[in-house]
Amino acid sequence: FHDALTCLPNQIVVKDRLIQASAHADRSGSKIGVFFLDLDNFKAINDSLGHPVGDALLKEVAARLTHAVRAADTVSRQGGDEFLIMLTDIHDVDGIAGVAEKLLDQLSAPFQIEGHELSTSVSIGIAIYPDDSRDFANLLKQADTALYAAKGAGRNAYRFFTAQMNEAASEYQQMRVGLQHALVHGEFALFYQ
């Protein structure tokens, strides 16, 4: 039920806690914020300094994330350089943006890892229960969609999920399929001007 490297809860635990928190949210009229986080350019650190340094960085990131939220909130490692945070008992959606800014700030400070000073940033996608969905899998998907919008905005940013993001993702997927189809069927023509 916990990640071996960071000792953070895994997705099974987060899902269980969301089910419990959603029952409370329904009774109290509160909301739950689901944050999907991805470290920016983590692969470059792993590739240049090795996996032991990358693993040590992930442990430090986990500690900073845990320190940045309340004890009642859940920080989870999803795998690789992806983390999930669940904020419970939220009454003010503007407060969620404040937490996202705090997380960006916490992770912008340099890390001292095995004699190396490392800088990284994080991109964050946010979905809100029950506004965006009442289903755990959909909330994760929507937070992930918002994460890629944050990365597309230049990284080191956060974005809240919107329905327009799904439309853009669908259009992008249709474009990819259409281009692949056109390549397979020789539907491109080259003109020189």
The catalytic residues are 81
Higher-confidence residue of 175 and 37: namely 37
The dihedral sign for the CA sequence 12, 16, 22, 28: negative
One-letter amino acid for residue 13 of the chain: V
Residue 157 pLDDT exceeds 80: yes
Average pLDDT rounded to a whole number, residues 71-94: 92
Beta bridge partners of 32: 129
Which residue from 90, 52, 82 is spatially nearest to 65, judged by alpha carbons?
82
Residue 190's pLDDT is what?
Answer: 83
Average pLDDT rounded to a whole number, residues 100-128: 93
Residue 183 pLDDT exceeds 90: no
Q: What is the DSSP string of 28-81?
A: HT-EEEEEEEEEETHHHHHHHH-HHHHHHHHHHHHHHHHHHS-TTSEEEEEETT
Residue 171 pLDDT exceeds 80: no
Average pLDDT rounded to a whole number, residues 114-131: 93
Residue 146's pLDDT is what?
Answer: 94
Which residue from 36, 31, 37, 10 is spatially nearest to 134, judged by alpha carbons?
31
- CA atoms in the 13 A half-sphere facing the CB of 6: 26
The tens digit of pLDDT for each residue in 52-81 reads: 999 999 999 999 999 999 999 999 999 899
Q: What's the maximum distance between 2 C-alpha atoms anywhere in the chain?
A: 67
Residue 168's pLDDT is what?
Answer: 61
Average pLDDT rounded to a whole number, residues 90-105: 91
Residue 170 pLDDT exceeds 80: no
3-state secondary structure of 113: strand
Residue 177's pLDDT is what?
Answer: 84
Residue 166's pLDDT is what?
Answer: 58
Residue 100 pLDDT exceeds 90: yes
Query: 185 pLDDT band (50/70/90 cuts)?
Result: confident
Average pLDDT rounded to a whole number, residues 35-59: 93
Residue 95's pLDDT is what?
Answer: 87
